[in-house]
């Protein structure tokens, strides 16, 4: 008897959940259809997923904040194109990203900002391709994101580009003769850059004397990797990774009295503003990054100022990429004449045509004269930076 009652309750609950959501979905689609024409006649719905919670939350939050600033600026201009932005949490997990994407689809998303991190973006890009929603991801750098999909575009360099660019740069500038690499074995970003770096280095005749790895579980102690690099006599340490492990490597190398040159990639950006990190350790570190928060140009300064006011921290490259994404969408929408009453698939066709158009050039925080090719990859030049007196300086 008791079991049947509890069973009936559970079933009722389940059906309630399903039906509740079903009807909710219907309601939102109904409301988005009718008032979209009247009230917010010009608000184009753009949505993105990113890790807003969990270990990778800083990236997702930064991208969300950067995009938010751009959307607010555009809406404040009061022109015909208005944006409505929504970010959903994907916890840096492909499964959750798909859930988040579907939630955005139910909300009525017309243009997608993809996902912030690579693996989740691979999963959502397959869906945006299927559903014909145009997507421009700020920072998902894996090539699998854009591969074989005509409506997927990237704002950041793809991983292979960074690896080859770094090797080229090191070779051109003759920065080191014996190179050691420490990379994160279970991270697409780090591994992707390393693979391309290694093959390009071979081609250019750079001498990699030590290549050691770490994983998510072992990113607190680097003495083994560092002493191996030291033993091999490496004078340049290439660190294709994000800035948190890099900061530990810098401080542990210092305590070992090992002082090679350090060379990082765009993930290293943010190290100077990291809480509890002694910025003097980063003195002399070189990195390739498209964005520099200390840059003196007006655009960057106003963005950094706004970001600091609103979120109380210095924006990193994720925020800048997302900011640029929204502006790129804005200028493309203007050119293509996109209005909010168009459906996602017709917007998608027009946007693809605009983005791949040879005349479409975009100037943003992370590059000027930025163009996109048919594969969806961006072409912009990475800037070599060196940290001097606690600030970036051009190399």
Partner 1 sequence: MKKERLSSAPKKPMTKSARDTVTCYGIVIVAYIVISILLNGGHVNSSMKGLLIPICAYIVMALSLNLTVGILGELSLGHAGFMSVGAFSGVVAAMSLKGAIASTPLLLAVSMLIAAGCAAIAGFLVGIPVLRLNGDYLAIVTLAFGEIIKNLINCLYVGHDADGLHFAFLKTSDALGLADGGKVIINGPMGVSGIPKLSTFTAGFILILITLFIILNLVHSRQGRAIMAIRDNRIAAESVGINVTQYKLMAFVTSAALAGASGALYAMNFTTVVSSKFNFFTSIIVLVYVVLGGLGNMWGTIISATLLTLLPELLRKFGDYRMLIYALVLIIVMVVSNNANFKAFFTRLFSKEKSADVPSADADTKGGAANE
CA angle, residues 374, 380, 383, in degrees to nearest 5: 160
Establish if 30 lies at the interface with partner 1 (CB under 8 A). no
Closer CB to partner 1, 100 or 385, in the complex: 100
- Cβ atoms of 211 and 156 within 8 Å: the answer is no
**Total number of residues binding partner 1 (CB under 8 A)?**
56
- Cβ distance to partner 1 smaller for residue 31 or 53: 53
All residues at 6 or more sequence positions from 47 whose CB lies less than 8 Å from its CB, including other chains: 85, 86, 87, 88, 104, 107, 109, 111, 112, 113
Q: In terms of CB distance, is 88 or 269 closer to partner 1? A: 88
Choices 88-96, 271-279, 307-315, 357-365; region in contact with partner 1 by CB under 8 A: 88-96
Diameter of the chain by CA atoms?
Answer: 81
Binder of partner 1 out of 8, 12, 17, 353 (CB under 8 A): 17
Residues 45-84 that bind partner 1 (CB under 8 A): 52-53
Shortest spacing between CB 300 and partner 1, in angstroms? 29
- Residue carrying structure tokens 């009936």: 8
Radius of gyration of the chain (CA): 23
What residues contact residue 143 under an 8 Å CB cut-off, 6+ apart?
158, 159, 160, 192, 377
Quick one: residue 389, left, alpha or beta (phi over 0 = left, psi -120 to 50 = alpha)?
A: left
253 scored as a contact of partner 1 (CB under 8 A): no
Question: Does residue number 22 form part of the binding site for partner 1 (CB under 8 A)?
Answer: yes
Q: Which of 45, 64, 68, 105 binds partner 1 (CB under 8 A)?
A: 105
Region near partner 1 per CB under 8 A, out of 35-43, 133-141, 144-152, 305-313: 144-152
Instruction: Provide, rounded to whole angstroms, the least separation between the CB of residue 50 and partner 1.
Output: 13
Q: How far is the CB of 167 from partner 1 (least distance, A)?
A: 15
The answer to whether 106 contacts partner 1 (rule: CB under 8 A) is yes
89 binds partner 1 (CB under 8 A): yes
What Å distances lie between residue 377 and 156, 182, 328, 372, CA to CA? 8, 27, 14, 6
* Cross-strand bridge partners of residue 43: 82
CB 5, min distance to partner 1, A? 8
- CA-based torsion, 159, 136, 91, 72: positive or negative: positive
Judged by CB under 8 A, the residue of 119, 200, 306, 380 near partner 1 is 119
Per CB under 8 A, does 24 bind partner 1? Answer: yes
Binding residues for partner 1 restricted to 167-206, rule: CB under 8 A:
185-188, 191-192, 195, 198-199
Question: Which is nearer to partner 1, 101 or 242 (by Cβ)?
Answer: 101
CA-CA-CA-CA torsion sign (231, 166, 192, 199): negative
Which one of the spans 31-39, 103-111, 299-307, 327-335 is the region binding partner 1 (CB under 8 A)?
103-111
Report the alpha-carbon distance of residue 48 to residue 109 in Å, rounded. 9
User: What whole-number distance in Å separates Cα of residue 139 and Cα of residue 63?
Assistant: 8
Nearer to partner 1 (CB atom), residue 152 or residue 252 = 152
Query: Which one, 218 or 331, has the nearer CB to partner 1?
Result: 218
Quick one: 42 exposed, middle or buried, by C-beta within 10 A (0-12, 13-18, 19+)? Answer: middle
- Among residues 90 and 324, whose Cβ is nearest to partner 1? 90
Which one among 216, 341, 343, 373 touches partner 1, defined by CB under 8 A? 216
386 by DSSP, 3-state: which? strand
Contact 116, 60 (CB under 8 A): yes
Taking Cα atoms as reference points, which of 379, 378, 377 lies closest to residue 148? 377
* In the complex, minimum distance from the CB of residue 147 to partner 1, in angstroms, rounded to a whole number: 7
Which residues in this chain contact partner 1 in the complex, by CB under 8 A?
Answer: 1-3, 5, 7, 10-11, 13-15, 17-19, 21-26, 29, 52-53, 88-89, 93-96, 98-103, 105-106, 119, 122-123, 125-126, 142, 144, 147-148, 185-188, 191-192, 195, 198-199, 215-216
């Amino acid at each position: 008897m008791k079991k049947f009652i509890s069973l009936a309750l559970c079933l009722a609950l389940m059906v309630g959940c399903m039906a509740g959501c079903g009807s909710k979905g219907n309601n939102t689609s109904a409301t988005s259809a009718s008032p979209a024409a009247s009230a917010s006649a010009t608000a184009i719905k753009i949505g993105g997923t990113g890790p807003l919670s969990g270990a990778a939350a800083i990236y997702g939050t930064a991208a969300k904040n950067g995009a938010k600033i751009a959307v607010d600026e555009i809406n404040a201009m009061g022109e015909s194109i208005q944006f409505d932005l929504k970010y959903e949490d994907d916890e840096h997990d492909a499964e959750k990203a798909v859930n988040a994407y579907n939630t955005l689809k139910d909300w009525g998303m017309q243009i997608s900002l993809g996902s912030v991190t690579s693996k989740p973006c691979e999963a959502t890009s397959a869906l945006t391709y299927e559903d014909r929603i145009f997507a421009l991801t700020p920072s998902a750098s894996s090539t699998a994101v854009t591969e074989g999909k005509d409506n997927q575009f990237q704002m950041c360099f793809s991983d292979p580009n960074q690896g080859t660019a770094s090797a080229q740069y090191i070779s051109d500038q003759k920065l080191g003769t014996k190179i050691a690499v420490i990379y994160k074995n279970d991270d697409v970003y780090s591994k992707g850059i390393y693979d391309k770096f290694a093959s390009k280095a071979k081609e250019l005749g750079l001498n990699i004397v030590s290549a050691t790895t770490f994983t998510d579980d072992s990113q607190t102690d680097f003495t083994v990797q560092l002493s191996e690099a030291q033993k091999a006599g490496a004078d340049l340490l290439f660190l294709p990774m994000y800035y948190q492990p890099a900061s530990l490597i810098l401080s542990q190398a210092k305590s070992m009295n090992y002082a090679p040159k350090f060379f990082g990639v765009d993930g290293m950006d943010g190290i100077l503003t990291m809480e509890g990190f002694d910025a003097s350790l980063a003195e002399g570190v070189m990195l390739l990054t498209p964005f520099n928060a200390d840059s003196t140009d007006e655009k960057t300064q106003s963005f950094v100022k706004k970001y600091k006011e609103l979120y109380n921290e210095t924006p990193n490259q994720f925020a800048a990429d997302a900011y640029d994404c929204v502006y790129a969408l804005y200028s493309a929408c203007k050119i293509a004449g996109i209005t909010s009453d168009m459906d996602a698939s017709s917007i998608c066709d027009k946007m693809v045509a605009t983005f791949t158009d040879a005349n479409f050039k975009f100037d943003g925080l992370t590059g000027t004269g930025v163009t996109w090719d048919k594969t969806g990859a961006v072409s912009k030049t990475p800037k070599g930076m060196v940290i001097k007196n606690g600030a970036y300086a051009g190399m």
